[in-house]
Amino acid sequence: MEQAARRGVQFLRDHFVDKDTGGSALPLVRIYVTQQSDQLEPHVRDFAVAAGADSRIGPDVVCLTLLASAGEQETWNDRNRSIGHKAIPLPSEQAISRLPMVSQLFDQLGVDARHVIGPGGALVADERRPYGIFHVEEARDHPAIPAQADFVIPYAVRSAIGFGGILPAGEMFAVVAFSRVRILERAVDAFVAAALATKLALLSFSGGPVFDGHDAEPVGDDLALARAESRAETLDQLLIVRFDMVMREAERLESELSQAEERSVELAASQDALAQSEAARPRSSRGPSTVSSAWMPTDGSSSSTMLPNRPSAIAERTFSATSSVTVSCLPRCASVTDSGSPTTESTERARSSAVGSR
């Protein structure tokens, strides 16, 4: 499971790109999994015991354990080199409430803390339920985001996003990412698909060895069946989520196309009204026809507005967010010489007169 998690966090860091810099927008991505303290490696268990010094850490206490990490600093790419996040003991609901980020993570994911700290396997009943998204749009000075002076400010963290779920054997996983790019509320739903994809990558290892260096054990029939059912259910959920995302995007593009068509009709009506107004004015009172010519296309095509059919417009809108047309006009009386200086007919006559008088 650790190897799959490591690839997952690195994938997120590599593909969540800041368009302004071309680099990763995520200075740090981490994935955690719940494990009982007696299942932890000795050095991780010792860390958990020290971290939970205010309460007894027994062998059945659940710990939110760092499974994989990817980030800008070298030490952030090795879970064993983490200074303060190797394992977070969760001995009671009160202990969880004293951890602002963990508490809000559980709340927004929709995970009942009583299930997390309950006996092993208590989370299996919730395995098929969809979970929410942990989202902090503005990380600066937010109470749920610790290490403001050491992390948020120096690494210009704007937002935090988290997602997770329950695996077939009852483990809870949670991914937490910190972004330099602001993640708006309307973009949060897209991470539901990321949560389901992460679950698909991890569920095949549920109930087996979690960390590197441990040989896989034979899988019993019950666990194999639970994994297969979970995979089928998760794939169904992922297809539904993707379908909903495509439909919402199509509706958005359809709405924008309709608005563009309405603006085009209004513009054509304004052009016709302006042309009729110009035609109705007495010839003596008309000025240069610069205003009406400004509405004319420069490529010789008709001035009437041609609207593409709806499917083509949607395709164009998908691949091109914006378009612009720039029209350049040169004075009719001027030409440009090789030296770049303008000459006019009057200038040529003056030059000829000067030559004749010499």
Task: Give the whole-angstrom CA distance, residue 310 versus residue 316.
Answer: 10
**Largest interatomic CA distance in the chain:** 113
Please, are residues 115 and 93 in contact by the beta-carbon 8 Å criterion?
no
| Selection from 179, 197, 167, 190 nearest residue 72 by Cα | 179
Per residue in 281-316, pLDDT tens?
876 655 555 444 444 444 544 444 444 444 444 444
Residue 13 vs residues 3, 18, 29, 157, 211: alpha-carbon distances, Å: 16, 11, 7, 14, 21
- Output the pLDDT for position 288: 57
17: which strand partners? 24
Residue 239, pLDDT > 80, answer: yes
Per residue in 187-218, pLDDT tens?
888 899 999 999 999 999 998 889 987 777 77
Task: Give the whole-angstrom CA distance, residue 160 versus residue 247.
Answer: 27
Neighbouring residues of 221: CB distance < 8 A, sequence distance ≥ 6: none
Task: Give the whole-angstrom CA distance, residue 66 versus residue 64.
Answer: 7
Task: Give the whole-angstrom CA distance, residue 353 versus residue 198.
Answer: 85
Residue 182, pLDDT > 90, answer: yes
At 167, list the tokens.
């695996």
3 state SS of 178:
strand
Percent of the chain with pLDDT over 90: 43
3 state SS of 172:
strand
Task: Give the whole-angstrom CA distance, residue 242 versus residue 252.
Answer: 15
Please, are residues 51 and 89 in contact by the beta-carbon 8 Å criterion?
yes
The CATH fold of domain 2-213+224-251: Beta-Lactamase (3.30.450)
Q: What are phi and psi of 243, to 5 degrees?
A: -60, -45
Per residue in 95-119, pLDDT tens?
888 888 998 898 888 888 877 776 5
Task: Name the residue ranges covered by the structural domains of the chain.
Answer: 2-213+224-251
pTM of this prediction exceeds 0.85? no
Task: Give the whole-angstrom CA distance, residue 210 versus residue 212.
Answer: 7
Task: Give the whole-angstrom CA distance, residue 213 versus residue 191.
Answer: 31
Percent of the chain with pLDDT over 70: 74
DSSP 307: P
